[in-house]
Structure 1
């Protein structure tokens, strides 16, 4: 055991998960990486250990297997100081419109699973009296768009869950952060037409998450312009909004 602070990254093999792990490791945190394929996490763990001289643990975690969540948390050698969920699945909107299994997977990956596991950590943190929970949501949840409303609706639910959890925990020593990255250049967005000024790279998101934890921020739009963009979009009358092609 060390005296360093610790962070657990759920979805540790994702681009944002890797970036968050590196940002916290650089700041001196011991790191736990959790994902479905533990072997795939090994190279990142080795790099973090060599580069930052910290302890790195690897854990198997499947966000779609809610029945395993209690056992997963119980199996951790110690509760982390910070837990971050970077889990998510964009999916294919057109497929989700007719394929109920695909739509279900998108909804469970972005809302049900992340909410349930973070809620479980919240109970543990509240019992301990401290801890920080970070949920990576999306600007897509600020208002449903025709092009990705299945994904967007799941992220909207996740943001609402984090908001309620934050309010509940606010006077109990446990802090909850909602991070909305906007467009990020990742494997998930590969092939998509991204808008340059509204797009960031994963390391920017990782640093934003660390900064939000250290400053005890509540809701963070990684690229500040997104706050203004989504404010405008949210205030558009429905009659106007539904005619937009995006």
Structure 2
């Protein structure tokens, strides 16, 4: 059964994006996949459509081309009911410390681009009077660590943006959800040794994103164990924290 509800997925070639799109499509939603590589997005769209029978369209989007965001939104076949942003770039912390262009790319990909585009869509949702925004941030933004503070700082900014947007839009009846997956086994983390207990699979995150639409919630840690972990980490006094190697 095809639903009249529609999803715009920003980051349609990522493992998490594909997983989330599949869960919405299985529920009969119309799905718009956006990505910089439209050919790869088309492959994902064809695969999801063949599995579900859902209507899937693809749309080219480079999250760094902020001057084209208005045109991008204007050419969508419809204003979606839900927008999910899974755009992200881990980058290389050691490189970012001396390569300003690389650091800027990481910051802009994880914060500036997603925040500006979601802000633009929020204005369209306000005009219509309905809509849900889901942004995938990271526990890395809960407190800066020496091993990934460029990425973490960008995610901290994105988390703060989503919090402020939620505070502004809630009285208008619009929802803004922040999803924090923690470690996720994806192509982006390939080669990194991840602790199993706190590491989610892409499909697990996709299910959590879809559940957020159906069940509600404001800030969602995909694996609940991350909430007390991050409460402990953020509670460590700075005089102690700065001596740790994290």
**Taking structure 1 as the reference length, what is the TM-score of the superposition?**
0.98
Superposed, which structure 2 residues align to 1:8-157 within 5 Å? 8-157=8-157
Which whole-Å deviations, capped at 9, do the CAs of 1:113-160 have from their partners, x for residues lacking one? Answer: 000000000000010000000100000000000000000000000000
SS in 2 for 1:188: helix
What is the match of residue 187 of structure 1?
A: 187
> Contact 1:126–1:173 (CA<8 Å) still a contact in 2?
no
- Contact 1:88 1:109 (C-alpha < 8 Å) held by counterparts: yes
Secondary structure of 2:177's aligned partner: strand
2-side partners of 1:3 and 1:226: how far apart? 34
Task: Name the CA distance, whole Å, in 1 between partners of 2:13 and 2:165.
Answer: 26
Q: Distance in 2 between matches of 1:240 and 1:213?
A: 39
Q: Distance in 2 between matches of 1:71 and 1:242?
A: 45
Give the C-alpha shift of residue 199 in structure 1. Answer: 0.2
Preserved CA contact (<8 Å) 2:3 2:30? no
TM-score, length basis structure 2: 0.98
SS at match of 2:225: helix
Gaps of 5+ in 1: none
CA contact (8 A) 1:84 1:135 kept: yes
Question: C-alpha root-mean-square deviation of aligned residues, in Å?
Answer: 0.9
Per-residue CA distance 1:146-204 (angstroms, 9 max, x = gap):
00000000000000000000010001121100000000000111111211100010000
The range that moved more, 211-220 or 113-122, is 211-220
Aligned length: 245
Partner in structure 2 of residue 171 of structure 1? 171
User: Matches of 1:77 and 1:89 in 2, distance apart?
Assistant: 28
- Which SS does the other structure have where 1:54 is aligned? coil
Give me the whole-angstrom Cα distance separating, in 1, the residues matched to 2:82 and 2:235: 34
Partner of 1:239: 239
Give the distance between the partners of 1:216 and 1:224, measured in 2 at CA: 16
SS at match of 1:103: helix
Separation in 1, partners of 2:242, 2:212: 34
C-alpha distance in structure 2 between counterparts of 1:50 and 1:109, whole Å = 31
| Deviation for aligned residue 1:40 | 0.8
Shift in Å, 1:106: 0.4
* 8 Å Cα contact 2:87-2:114 kept in structure 1: yes
SS at match of 1:124: helix
